[in-house]
């Protein structure tokens, strides 16, 4: 166990830690310093980074063919379900039940495997970029930095309100904009899909006639 801990310590301090430090410096150079030179407010800075992160998530979604793989699974699963229903025509009860049980277990295994891969892709596409960027942002715009610069841990101060909110934090602004961008992006994808299906239906109708 001590040997394994030593190996993990070496990997973290000699490889993983320096790699993340290098990535942090590159992100600071590309995304933080230029906007700081332009005197962009921190809340807008955070909002722009949230928008870029949502674009990156959709890029990963397309790169990993998430929608295509989900559609392929639904098609294959539906075909297997239809084949399973056809077993009802078998007259022998015991043979029918044995085959049905076998195919049912096969369908369950396929569905469980799909769910495992689906959640793995979900974590990779949406949650991993979110957690990594949030961790980086909370280091760049740390509470100590905000207190020293604005005398407050909030980047936007709010007037007195019934909700009891005194201000908006970096985390709250980033999460709100990121989720909002994902919702808008999904709506755009659904609309494009509907338009594509409508065009295919019209072409099919024209070909038939």
pLDDT tens for each residue of 147-189? 888 788 888 877 777 777 788 889 999 999 999 999 999 999 8
- Say if 180 falls within a structural domain: yes
**Cα of 114 vs its chain's centroid, Å:** 17
Cα angle, residue 61 at apex, residues 125 and 30 outer, rounded to 5°: 70
Rounded to an integer, the average pLDDT of 188-202 is: 79
- With respect to residue 174, please indicate whether it lies within any of the assigned structural domains: yes
Phi, psi angles (nearest 5°) of residue 167: -175, 175
Least confident interval from 59-73, 128-142, 195-209: 195-209
Q: What angle do CA 77, 68, 182 make, to 5 degrees?
A: 120
Structural domain includes residue 173? yes
Q: Is residue 80 part of a domain?
A: yes
Q: Are 4 and 10 in contact (CB under 8 A)?
A: no
66-85 and 93-122 helices, crossing angle to 10°: 170
Contact partners, residue 153, CB within 8 Å, separation at least 6:
143, 146, 147, 167, 169
- Whether 22 maps to a domain, the answer reads no
Question: Is the CB of residue 137 less than 8 Å from the CB of residue 174?
Answer: yes
What's the CA gap between 75 and 71, in Å, rounded?
6
As beta bridge partners, residue 157 has: 167
Report the residue count for the chain. 209
The H or E element that residue 157 is part of is strand 156-157
Residue 116, domain extent: 40-208
5 in a domain, yes or no? no
- Count other C-beta atoms under 10 Å from residue 47's C-beta: 19
pLDDT band at 8 (very low <50, low <70, confident <90, very high): low
Give me the mean pLDDT over the 177-206 stretch. Answer: 83
d(CA 44, CA 155): 10
Number of structural domains the chain divides into? 1
The distance from CA 64 to its chain's CA centroid, rounded to whole angstroms, is 11
Q: How far apart are CA 128 and CA 112, in angstroms?
A: 22
Per-residue pLDDT tens for 35-59? 778 888 888 989 999 999 999 999 9
Mean pLDDT of 61-89: 81
Percent of the chain residues past pLDDT 70, beyond the cut? 77
Q: What distance in Å separates the CA atoms of residue 121 and residue 128, rounded to the nearest whole number? A: 10
Model-level pTM?
0.79
Which of residues 142 and 178 earns the better pLDDT score? Answer: 178
* Cβ atoms 129, 60 nearer than 8 A: yes
Residue 68 lies in a domain: yes
Residue 105 lies in a domain: yes
């Amino acid at each position: 166990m001590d040997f394994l801990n030593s190996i993990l310590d070496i990997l973290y301090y000699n490889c993983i830690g320096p790699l993340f430090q290098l990535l942090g410096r590159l992100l600071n150079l590309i995304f933080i310093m230029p906007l700081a030179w332009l005197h962009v407010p921190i809340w807008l800075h955070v909002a722009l980074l949230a928008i870029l992160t949502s674009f990156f998530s959709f890029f990963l979604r397309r790169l990993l063919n998430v929608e295509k793989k989900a559609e392929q699974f639904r098609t294959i699963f539906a075909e297997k379900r239809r084949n399973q229903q056809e077993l009802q025509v078998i007259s022998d009860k015991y043979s029918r039940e044995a085959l049905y049980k076998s195919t049912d277990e096969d369908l369950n295994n396929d569905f469980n495997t799909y769910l495992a891969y689906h959640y793995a892709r979900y974590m990779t596409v949406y949650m991993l970029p979110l957690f990594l960027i949030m961790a980086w942002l909370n280091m760049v715009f740390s509470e100590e930095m905000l207190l020293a610069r604005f005398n407050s841990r909030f980047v936007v101060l709010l007037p007195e309100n019934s909700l009891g909110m005194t201000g908006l934090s970096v985390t709250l602004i980033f999460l709100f904009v990121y989720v909002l961008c994902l919702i808008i992006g999904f709506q755009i994808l659904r609309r494009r899909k509907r338009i594509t299906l409508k065009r295919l239906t019209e072409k099919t109708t024209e070909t038939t006639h």
